[in-house]
Amino acid sequence: DADVTQTPRNRITKTGKRIMLECSQTKGHDRMYWYRQDPGLGLRLIYYSFDVKDINKGEISDGYSVSRQAQAKFSLSLESAIPNQTALYFCATSKTGDYGYTFGSGTRLTVV
Amino acid sequence: AQRVTQPEKLLSVFKGAPVELKCNYSYSGSPELFWYVQYSRQRLQLLLRHISRESIKGFTADLNKGETSFHLKKPFAQEEDSAMYYCALSSTGRRALTFGSGTRLQVQP
């Protein structure tokens, strides 16, 4: 079983729709992250959480929100999707003091 | 602000040739540097970190604070090394990793 699971794997949505991407982990890690990957831009940080009650904006948080429902779950929401949010989204986890991330397999989101 | 620069989008070499993937960073403090790799149809995974000074799959990387670089090297490339490579930096304190834009390594037979 995968230890960092992202759902859905692929999603096509329309402009203006609200969509939620989910991430769950069985690693027991306290830290969780959301990144988006775009060709030529690498991975850019959207939000990160060091604890259930500790959520922080990354470099590109506009248009996104997150929820840390439990230590093992970290969801990313697009309140009103727009085409330039079309990307591959990755969830990652780590434990405090260790930047060896464990990544999920990614969610490919297309906004039409 | 911290930044990681990988100047090459694509590096193509022949099997058995030496490989050097470049990474430069900007950060005023003492960074921790990492290399992550993403093989085709696999997840992004940690390859090595500068603190451990290890060699993984024949790859090494040395942190050069004077040149603010952390280049990834391998003396003899193998076809299975073909992948996307990302350099990443963490700063002291609470921040998450900052990734470079990535370099695709193609090792031709």
Residue A94 confidence (pLDDT) above 60: yes
Q: Does A104 touch chain B (CB under 8 A)?
A: yes
Mean pLDDT across A92-101: 88
Cis status, amide bond into A8, omega within 30 of 0: yes
pLDDT given for residue A40 in this prediction: 84
Indicate the pairing of strand B10-14 with strand B103-108: parallel
Residue indicated by tokens 């002291």: B92
pLDDT given for residue A39 in this prediction: 85
pLDDT given for residue B95 in this prediction: 76
**Closest CA–CA distance from residue B45 to any residue of chain A (Å):** 7
pLDDT given for residue B94 in this prediction: 62
Mean pLDDT rounded to a whole number for chain A: 94
B32 contacts in chain A (CB < 8 Å) = 99
Residue A1 confidence (pLDDT) above 60: no
Residue type, B43: R
Residue A2 confidence (pLDDT) above 80: no
Chain B: residue whose CA lies nearest to A42: B101
- The answer to whether residues A34 and A109 touch, using CB atoms and an 8 Å cutoff, is no
- The answer to whether residues A74 and A11 touch, using CB atoms and an 8 Å cutoff, is no
Confidence of residue B56 (pLDDT cuts 50, 70, 90): confident
Query: Which of B78, B49, B75 is closest to B62 using CA atoms?
Result: B49
Q: Which of B9, B46, B94 sits opposite A101 (nearest CB)?
A: B46
CA-to-CA distance for A38 and A12, rounded, in angstroms? 17
Residue A64 confidence (pLDDT) above 80: yes
A101 contacts in chain B (CB < 8 Å) = 36, 44, 46, 97
B33 contacts in chain A (CB < 8 Å) = none
Tell me how many degrees the CA angle A43-A44-A49 measures, rounded to the nearest 5: 110
> Which percentage of chain A shows pLDDT scores above 90?
88
Whether B99 sits inside 8 A of A35 (CB atoms) is: yes
* A104 dihedral zone (left: phi>0; alpha: psi -120 to 50; beta): beta
Residue A76 confidence (pLDDT) above 70: yes
pLDDT digits 0-9 by tens, A22-48: 999 999 999 999 999 998 889 999 999
